[in-house]
A and B are shown apart, each in its own frame.
Chain A
Amino acid sequence: MERLFLIFLAAFLINNILLIRFIGLCPFFGVSSRFETSIGMSMAVIFVMTLSSMVCWGVWNFLLNPLGVGDFLYIPAFILVIASLVQFVEMVIRKVSPALFKAMGIYLPLITTNCAVLAAATESVKPGFWKLSLEYNYSLGEALVYTIGIALGFSMVIIMFAAMRERIEIAPIPRSFKGFPIAFIAAGLSSLAFLGFKGLFGI
């Protein structure tokens, strides 16, 4: 139980995927200019990320690793899993709830190229990418907790940041710094704040 909590906390706060590890920045800067779009994006990411990590965990543990081809097939295998999953989710949502499909719009297909999803999938099975002081080789439950932590961390930061950017929009800033440059500087300040979590509970 304690290990699960630490895994969650490390993924959610201490090694926050956006502000501390720089993974998934393109959608972060792309969709965070408005509050509603950022919520749509984070819902879609939570859903796809959790599902794809679970499937990739299965693919790695029951298919790639036993066959001994894991090391050189994991990139194509995982990205295929993610791409087909996104496609599948898109079809299901379109059938089941057209309203939700409309609301999600472009964000669903965009998730295929979101590095955060691939990173979460890779990290829940392949050891040693990010040096946590917790050892890897997660069991299914731990991988699930880890992925949910990452996805929630992503959502929290992207929503918080969208709220901030709506305010920055109307602030007086030099003309050439409007838009992206000031967003980067704001992200730097938020990242500085998140550095403060380092070492929490000895992680």
Chain B
Amino acid sequence: MKRSVWRDFTIGIIEENPLFSLVIGLCAALAVSSKVENAIFMGVAASFVLVSSNILISVIRKIVPSQIRIPVFIVVIASFVTIVDLSMKAFFPAGYEALGVWVPLIVVNCIILGRAEAFASKNGIIRSIADGLGKGFGYTLALLIIAVIRELGGTGQIVAFENTIVSLKGFQPPQILQSFPGAFFTFGILMGLLRKIQGKGE
């Protein structure tokens, strides 16, 4: 039985959330999640690459020989990442500076190649767009949750796009949430809690 297009979209948000359920594409997620602003930049950039490469791969899926599909997919993804890389450098230099090596590294983000291989190379364009959007949205949402916890908990305020959005008065922020180990802790605890709520534990 075929899933509906809407289902293709929604399954990426919780059940198959790339970060919390599939546990792929972690590196970028953990590294950029110390600031909400960076998380938004990264989420949008990765979603853009994900959706566009899903579209193109779904279009060319019938003419690509299966022996060389991985190199072909990688080149498709690399081209879109280059577009993002150069556009960010031109329009959001601050965001580009903050994300650093992570923009070019979107190319090896397992989510994107994984979806290209597992979904777009087997399905039509509309469904591939839905899948890309769903996974991209789930990824961005998960990133945002981690980033809010880390920035609010670690600095006592959230500053995005030169405005202070939330600030906690009289709160002594534990610095650890901002640093590297804090990312691992936040992520591990969130993941455990999510599993607890979903009622599954292996």
Q: Please say whether chains A and B are actual partners in one complex.
A: yes
* Closest beta carbon of chain B to A26's beta carbon, Å: 5
In the complex, which residues of chain A have a beta carbon less than 8 angstroms from the beta carbon of B185? 184-185, 188
A-binding segment of B35-43, B126-134, B189-197? B189-197
- Which residue of A is nearest B197, CB measured? A176
B-binding segment of A14-22, A36-44, A59-67, A134-142? A14-22
Main secondary structure of the interface of A (DSSP, over half): helix
- A122→B105 CA distance, assembly (Å): 10
* Cβ–Cβ contact A75 & B101, under 8 A: no
> Using a CB-CB cutoff of 8 Å, which residues 157-201 of chain B contact chain A?
179-185, 187-189, 191-193, 195-196, 200-201
A-binding segment of B3-11, B57-65, B76-84, B137-145? B76-84
Main secondary structure of the interface of B (DSSP, over half): helix
* Cβ–Cβ contact A118 & B71, under 8 A: no
- A160→B94 CA distance, assembly (Å): 37
* Cβ–Cβ contact A187 & B27, under 8 A: no
* Closest beta carbon of chain A to B95's beta carbon, Å: 15
> Using a CB-CB cutoff of 8 Å, which residues 82-116 of chain A contact chain B?
83-84, 87, 109, 112-115
- Which residue of B is nearest A183, CB measured? B188
In the complex, which residues of chain B have a beta carbon less than 8 angstroms from the beta carbon of A178? 201-202
In the complex, which residues of chain A have a beta carbon less than 8 angstroms from the beta carbon of B27? 22-26, 115
A3 at the interface (CB under 8 A from B): no
Contact with A along B88-115 (1 / 0, CB 8 A): 0000000000001100110111100100
- A35→B23 CA distance, assembly (Å): 20
> Using a CB-CB cutoff of 8 Å, which residues 150-203 of chain A contact chain B?
174-185, 187-189, 191-192, 195
- A49→B47 CA distance, assembly (Å): 28
B24 at the interface (CB under 8 A from A): yes
- A101→B75 CA distance, assembly (Å): 26
- Which residue of B is nearest A84, CB measured? B71
- A185→B181 CA distance, assembly (Å): 9
In the complex, which residues of chain B have a beta carbon less than 8 angstroms from the beta carbon of A177? 188, 192, 195, 201
A80 at the interface (CB under 8 A from B): yes
* Closest beta carbon of chain B to A24's beta carbon, Å: 6
Excluding A76-B82, A188-B184, 12 further A-B contacts by CB distance (< 8 Å) are A23-B27, A23-B31, A29-B23, A75-B78, A80-B71, A112-B108, A114-B108, A118-B104, A123-B101, A130-B100, A184-B191, A191-B180
